[in-house]
């Protein structure tokens, strides 16, 4: 993606991604019904910032790979999108996982958040995605 965005002006990057995604059905993970559409670099960074602001790391660890609470990355890797969304929006309050349905930062961006953790799980999104200069 970053190689692409280096040679393609920002304005066209989205169109290019759509064309490539359409041409490459392998981007869709058929067995789980996951949509393979990738986050843009900007969406990755803004999702990363949202998760920092809400501080999932407080319980799930610095890179969300487990601390007092289990790894979110591993959960995205092994569970369905439905399970993931339900877990984050409804939580598991009796076991210490808050419900985020009433938090617009999370609820409005739940698809990006899921795709962020899918990217973390398959290695396409680094733990700290911030560009060096920002």
Would you state the structure tokens that stand for residue 79, as one six-digit string? 């569970």
> Counting every residue, how long is the chain?
134
19 and 91 in contact (C-beta within 8 Å)?
no
- Quick one: which of 17, 39, 56, 118 contacts ligand HEC (CB under 6 A)? 56
57 and 69 in contact (C-beta within 8 Å)?
no
111 and 43 in contact (C-beta within 8 Å)?
no
Question: Site residues for ligand HEC, window 84-103 (CB under 6 A)?
Answer: 84, 87-88, 92, 95-98, 100
Choices 16-24, 28-36, 65-73, 121-129; region in contact with ligand HEC by CB under 6 A: 65-73
From the CB of 117, what's the least distance to ligand HEC, in Å? 8
118 and 37 in contact (C-beta within 8 Å)?
no
Interacting residue ranges for ligand HEC, rule: CB under 6 A: 54, 56, 58-60, 69-70, 72, 75, 84, 87-88, 92, 95-98, 100, 106
């Amino acid at each position: 993606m970053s190689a692409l965005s280096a040679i393609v002006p920002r304005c066209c990057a989205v169109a290019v991604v759509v064309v490539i995604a359409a041409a490459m059905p392998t981007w869709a993970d058929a067995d789980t019904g996951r949509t393979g559409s990738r986050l843009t670099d900007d969406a990755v960074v803004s999702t990363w910032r949202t998760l920092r602001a809400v501080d999932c790391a407080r319980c799930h660890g610095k890179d969300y790979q487990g601390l007092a609470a289990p790894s979110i990355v591993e959960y995205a890797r092994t569970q369905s999108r439905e399970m993931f969304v339900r877990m984050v929006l409804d939580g598991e309050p009796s076991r210490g996982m808050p419900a985020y349905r009433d938090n617009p930062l999370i609820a409005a961006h739940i698809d990006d958040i899921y795709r962020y953790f899918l990217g973390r799980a398959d290695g396409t999104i680094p733990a700290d995605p911030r560009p060096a200069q920002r």
